[in-house]
């Protein structure tokens, strides 16, 4: 089955630690995205990548980093510089010019 | 910049009631418009879309019409079911400043009761 996988579903970390969230897709989509969702808010774009080895900052990139070494993978690192890292993180991919984004199941990160 | 405004929830309806969730937008030109649905603890799923004025998107009994004159894309369903309980997000795909970006509304929670 084609789709987007995110792991783990729940992640707990201590303040001051970096943590990497996994996102893998087997849809052969070129573009991939990371969003953050907070209660009562819409999704906010963190980073996106339209092609391997290239990525752009979204609206709230501070305290986050990404890499795109393979078409299938777009991991997100939440660094200790992110002031409020506790949130639900969603990864998405999109086929070129289709305008439809397909979302993974999300990772809920809790930092204490 | 681009923005999407949705009616605040939660919206609570009885099964078989008529549903309307309002969505208006601000954007330059003719953006593409979307409705996504999020079930508890899950990611978002595309529900329907419209890419030009007067287009009607439809799926699973839900409909929305792209109204350029009122900059709206209201979601409707004639008869809701308990299984429709979820959070619904209106979104637009703009044409300016990073054209691949989706701008989302804050979401409207729908609760359908027996």
> Sign (positive/negative) of CA torsion B82, B45, B71, A33?
positive
Average of per-residue pLDDT across B35-47: 93
Q: Could you give the CA distance from residue B16 to residue B14 in angstroms, rounded to a whole number? A: 6
Contacts of A39 (CB under 8 A, 6+ apart): none
Q: Decide: helix, strand or coil at residue B24.
A: strand
CB contact under 8 A, B104 and A94: no
B72: exposed, middle or buried (Cβ count in 10 Å: 0-12, 13-18, 19+): middle
Is the pLDDT higher at B68 or at B97? Answer: B68
Determine the residue among B41, B49, B100, B103 to mutate to test chain A binding: the one whose Cβ has the most chain A Cβ atoms within 10 Å: B100
How far are the Cα atoms of A37, B71, B87, B110 from residue B107, in angstroms, in the given order?
A: 11, 18, 6, 10
Looking at the predicted structure, is the pLDDT value of residue A24 above 60?
A: yes
Contacts of A98 (CB under 8 A, 6+ apart): none
Q: What are phi and psi of A78, to 5 degrees?
A: -95, 115
How would residue B28 be classed by pLDDT, with cut points 50, 70 and 90? confident
Run of H or E residues at B26: strand B23-26
Looking at the predicted structure, is the pLDDT value of residue B15 above 60?
A: yes
How would residue B99 be classed by pLDDT, with cut points 50, 70 and 90? low
Q: Which residue of B has its CA nearest to A40?
A: B106
User: In Å, how far is B96's CA from the nearest CA of chain A?
Assistant: 14
Whether chain A has a CB inside 8 Å of the CB on B31: the answer is: no
Provide the 8-state DSSP code for B29: S
Looking at the predicted structure, is the pLDDT value of residue B97 above 80?
A: no
User: In Å, how far is A103's CA from the nearest CA of chain B?
Assistant: 6
Q: Could you give the CA distance from residue B4 to residue B11 in angstroms, rounded to a whole number? A: 18
CB contact under 8 A, B42 and A101: no
Looking at the predicted structure, is the pLDDT value of residue A97 above 80?
A: no
Looking at the predicted structure, is the pLDDT value of residue A12 above 60?
A: yes
CB contact under 8 A, B104 and A42: yes
CB contact under 8 A, A102 and B46: yes
Lowest mean pLDDT among A37-41, A107-111, B15-19: A37-41
B54: left (phi over 0), alpha (psi -120 to 50) or beta: left
In the prediction, which pLDDT does A98 show? 72
Run of H or E residues at A90: strand A87-94
Are the C-beta atoms of B40 and B27 separated by less than 8 Å? no
Determine the residue among A48, A96, A101 to mutate to test chain B binding: the one whose Cβ has the most chain B Cβ atoms within 10 Å: A101
Average of per-residue pLDDT across A14-43: 92
Whether chain A has a CB inside 8 Å of the CB on B89: the answer is: yes
């Amino acid at each position: 089955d084609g789709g987007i996988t995110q792991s783990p579903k729940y992640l707990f970390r201590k303040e001051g630690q970096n943590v990497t969230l996994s996102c893998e897709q087997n849809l052969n989509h070129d573009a991939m995205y990371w969003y953050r969702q907070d209660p009562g808010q819409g999704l906010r774009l963190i980073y996106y990548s339209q092609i391997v080895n290239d990525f752009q900052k979204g609206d709230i990139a501070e305290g986050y980093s990404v890499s795109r070494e393979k078409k299938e993978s777009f991991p997100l690192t939440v660094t200790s510089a992110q002031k409020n890292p506790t949130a639900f993180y969603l990864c998405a991919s999109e086929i070129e010019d289709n305008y439809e984004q397909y979302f993974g199941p999300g990772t809920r990160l809790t930092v204490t | 910049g681009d923005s999407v405004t949705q009616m605040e929830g939660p919206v609570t309806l009885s099964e078989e009631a008529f549903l309307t969730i309002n969505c208006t937008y601000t954007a330059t030109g003719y953006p593409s418009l979307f409705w996504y649905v999020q079930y508890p603890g899950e990611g978002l799923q595309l529900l329907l879309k419209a890419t030009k004025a007067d287009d009607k998107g439809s799926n699973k009994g839900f409909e929305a019409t792209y109204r350029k004159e009122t900059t709206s894309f209201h979601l409707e369903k004639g008869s809701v079911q308990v299984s429709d309980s979820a959070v619904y997000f209106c979104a637009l795909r703009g044409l300016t400043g990073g054209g691949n970006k989706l701008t989302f509304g804050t979401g409207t929670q729908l609760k359908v009761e027996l």
